[in-house]
Amino acid sequence: MCLAVPAKVVEKVGNVAKVDFGDNTLREVDVSLVDVSVGQYVLVHAGYAIQVLDEDEALKTIELLSEILSE
Amino acid sequence: MSFLKELRNRELAYALVRKIKEVFPKKPIKICHVCGTHEWTIVHYGLRSLLPDNIELIAGPGCPVCITPALDIDQAAELALEGKTVTVFGDVSRSVGVKYSLEAVRSEGGNVKIVYSILDALKIAKSDKSKEVVFFAVGFETTAPLTALHILRTPPKNFSILSSHRYVPPAVITLYSRGKLEMDGVIAPGHATTISGLKTYEPLAKEHGIPVVASGFEPVDVLMSIIMLVKQISEGKAEVLNQYSRSVTWEGNVKAMQTINRVFELTDAHWRGIGTIEHTGFVLRKEFKDYDARYKYGLKNVNYASEMHPGCRCAEIMLGKIKPTQCPLYMKVCKPSKPVGPCMVSIEGTCRIWATHIAFS
């Protein structure tokens, strides 16, 4: 139920965006619950974007991983 | 999204496991998670078998279908039998109440339609306004804002919802403080916490001394979160940390929470097999009561003597007291193809996850 999948926003008109889940098929997603721009990644849950993914934070997680392993 | 490859990297996962084995003391540690998708990652990637014996991973009540009350299922089924169109997620339709499942009612001619989201339910309602349409709204705070969003968009008058939406943070805190959920540390559910914000778990750390880590869903994410918890536990610390910072923030999705709060208020609510937990049920505010199926159709609260089927031990499985394999029905009469207990229904149910991974069956 809480499954959410990352997708890239390719087009956006009002509260509806076309997103790519990585399979080169564009699907419509409601983006009313987030502030997102074309080019950003969103987490999609049941046809609705619930968050804009922060790529810088993702890279920080990889850095934190290196820190943990080198401690 | 290239970082996802690293978060599924086998060598990194093994390195984290070696770290856990080498660095930390061997005292028994119970780590609880409250998300079916975390259980899926743990079982699918065999993480339990990689961890040392002293670390126990417990699956808490993190499956919305599992905790949806039997009464709600039966009332939704009765509405369908009365001629209303009941729209429901596919997995919820297979969960058996005390009297009915929506799937069984559908096969007997009841008007049950499977939908992917509330939007599909609204399309059905708009297509024939002479027909009453009920959306069986199941799900945690991840799903509740979607329902709220559409209630604010003024649905047609023939549309209503039967809300079984539940709010996770107060449930985890209350179950821990009542001694029902045992843990030394908790993995906060990544997508529910994306909405509610990590701050909602702060009382666990501050008031109860239980460290919290919000975790992503890749195997390396979960192993990192375990190490972040084990480190705190071994150092006697209890902080709220964020492993899933690419999605989870301290404040959460404020827009989504505001949307929820405009439409719903929190009430004491029943969790199937677990009991009533204060301030965990999302009910429609008075101004939206015309969209509340309970109000619209005068549904009454009924106390069932037992809402579990004879022999079913889902209640203990949902609190991590026993493993699915300890239930006498597991894979004998209760199987994914014909679930008896609610934990065998959804891909987030612990029994279902274990059952579909052959090594554990």
- How many independent structural domains does chain B possess? 2
Q: Supply the range of the domain harboring residue B346.
A: 314-358
pLDDT, tens digit, for every residue of B171-212? 999 999 999 999 999 999 999 999 999 999 999 999 999 999
Whether B193 and B266 map to the same domain: the answer is yes
Whether B286 and B352 map to the same domain: the answer is no
Which CATH number belongs to the domain containing residue B240 in this structure?
Answer: 3.40.50.11750
Whether B188 and B291 map to the same domain: the answer is yes
Whether residue B361 has pLDDT greater than 50:
no
Of B310, B328, B345, the domain-final residue: B310
Q: What is the mean pLDDT of residues B319-325?
A: 95
Whether B39 and B157 map to the same domain: the answer is yes
End-to-end CA separation in angstroms for chain A: 37
Q: What is the mean pLDDT of residues B44-49?
A: 95
Report the chain A residue with the minimal C-alpha distance to residue B14: A69
Whether residue B165 has pLDDT greater than 70:
yes
Whether B287 and B333 map to the same domain: the answer is no
| Nearest partner of A2 among B347, B103, B94, B68, judged by Cα | B347
Report the chain A residue with the minimal C-alpha distance to residue B92: A1
Whether residue B360 has pLDDT greater than 70:
no
Residue B221 with chain A: CB contacts under 8 Å: 61
pLDDT, tens digit, for every residue of B331-359? 999 999 999 999 999 999 999 999 999 75
| Nearest partner of B214 among B181, B192, B184, judged by Cα | B192
Would you give per-residue pLDDT tens digits along chain A (71 residues)?
Answer: 678 999 999 999 999 999 999 888 899 999 999 999 999 999 999 999 999 999 899 999 999 999 999 88
pLDDT, tens digit, for every residue of B286-317? 999 999 999 999 999 998 989 999 999 999 99
Tell me the residue length of chain B: 361
Of B294, B310, B326, the domain-final residue: B310
What ipTM, to 2 d.p.?
0.94
SS3 of residue B282 by DSSP: strand
Interface of B with A in 46-85 (CB under 8 A): 63-65
Q: What does the pLDDT read at residue B25?
A: 76
Whether B7 and B35 map to the same domain: the answer is yes
Whether B184 and B230 map to the same domain: the answer is yes
- B97-105's contacts with Cβ under 8 Å and 24+ in sequence apart are B97/B70, B97/B71, B97/B72, B97/B73, B97/B307, B98/B70, B98/B71, B98/B74, B98/B304, B98/B306, B98/B307, B99/B74, B100/B73, B100/B74, B101/B73, B101/B77, B102/B73, B102/B76, B102/B77, B102/B136, B104/B77, B105/B77, B105/B80, B105/B81
Decide if A38 touches B, using CB distance below 8 A: no
Q: What does the pLDDT read at residue B134?
A: 98
Question: How far off is chain A from B8, nearest CA to CA, in Å?
Answer: 12
Q: What does the pLDDT read at residue B24?
A: 80
Q: Measure the CA–CA gap between B152 and B24, rounded to whole angstroms.
A: 51
Whether B260 and B354 map to the same domain: the answer is no
- Let me know: does B215 contact B242? Beta carbons within 8 Å: no
Whether B176 and B155 map to the same domain: the answer is yes
SS3 of residue B87 by DSSP: strand
- Let me know: does B169 contact A32? Beta carbons within 8 Å: no
Whether B72 and B45 map to the same domain: the answer is yes
Whether B183 and B145 map to the same domain: the answer is yes
- Let me know: does B190 contact B213? Beta carbons within 8 Å: no
Residue A55 with chain B: CB contacts under 8 Å: 3, 246
Whether B177 and B223 map to the same domain: the answer is yes
pLDDT, tens digit, for every residue of B93-102? 999 999 999 9
